[in-house]
Amino acid sequence: EPDGTINVGVVGNSGVGKSLLINQLRGLSHGMAGWAPVGINETTLGVGMYAFPAERRVRLWDFPGVGTPMFPLSTYIARMGLRYLDSVIIVTAGRFTQTEVALREELESHRVPYCMVRTKADIDIWNNREDNGRDEAATLQEIYQDLAQQCGGRRPYIVSLRHPRAYDFPQLLHDAFPALSRAQWDATLGAGWDDPWVMPVALSATVSGLQGRWTDKSRAIFYVCGLEVHVTQANSGGAARFRLTETGEKVWR
């Protein structure tokens, strides 16, 4: 645009971590000014704009999850005006589905630059190590190979939104935002690392005994890290996060 503003859209199915990705790309932790709301359920019901703190002219646009009753794929692409953006980040938490492929093809038809991002790499690495004895490198290679056909010949960016310095996250930041200087990239990747929430925490004996991987009668898998719990349902594959509460020697959801 004439004023030098760069507009980058973030799109994908509901629940894949678009809002958290926007926060991590800008180096924000929870409670900081400009934090995009994050939740287990769909939290983005309209289009939100979030600027980089270090460069206000670089703007991320958080689009509602595609494929929901409110935003069906059949009308989503035209309704959201993706073709008018400078570039788009397409996000998934698993295999790229027909939704992401349709988004990619639409962007290609209008010559809009795009990146395809696969989140939750840390969870897949953990699962594959526990279930199949595969190491991190082998798991990442399996994910790359699985996604190759859906990415239109491009290499996808595999990231963990809980570990923004790991995997392909730094390269994504570099490639998706070439207008940012090296100092601004480093500031984004370094932001939040001195905040209290990333410092070591001493756990009580009760909470310490809950750490690790658990299953219940329905074969759902629970990963407990501190007071944070990630659960994956065996039948549907659905995932959710919640936080435990501790009072005295009692811990509950």
Kindly state whether residues 125 and 192 are assigned to the same domain.
yes
Least-confidence region, from 41-45, 220-224, 230-234: 41-45
Residue 55 lies in a domain: yes
Task: Pick the last residue of a domain from 170, 196, 222.
Answer: 196
Q: Are 29 and 191 in contact (CB under 8 A)?
A: yes
Kindly state whether residues 175 and 207 are assigned to the same domain.
no
Q: Are 75 and 22 in contact (CB under 8 A)?
A: no
Four-residue CA torsion sign, 195, 196, 201, 207? negative
Kindly state whether residues 92 and 117 are assigned to the same domain.
yes
Kindly state whether residues 129 and 226 are assigned to the same domain.
no
Kindly state whether residues 120 and 166 are assigned to the same domain.
yes
Q: How many domains does the chain have?
A: 2
Residue 165 lies in a domain: yes
Radius of gyration of the chain (CA): 19
Residue 152 lies in a domain: yes
- SS3 state at 234: coil
Range of the domain at 218: 200-252
Query: Per-residue pLDDT tens for 52-103?
Result: 887 788 889 988 888 777 888 778 877 888 888 889 999 988 888 888 888 8
Q: Are 42 and 14 in contact (CB under 8 A)?
A: yes
Confidence tier at 118 by pLDDT (50, 70, 90):
very high
Kindly state whether residues 181 and 76 are assigned to the same domain.
yes
- SS3 state at 74: helix
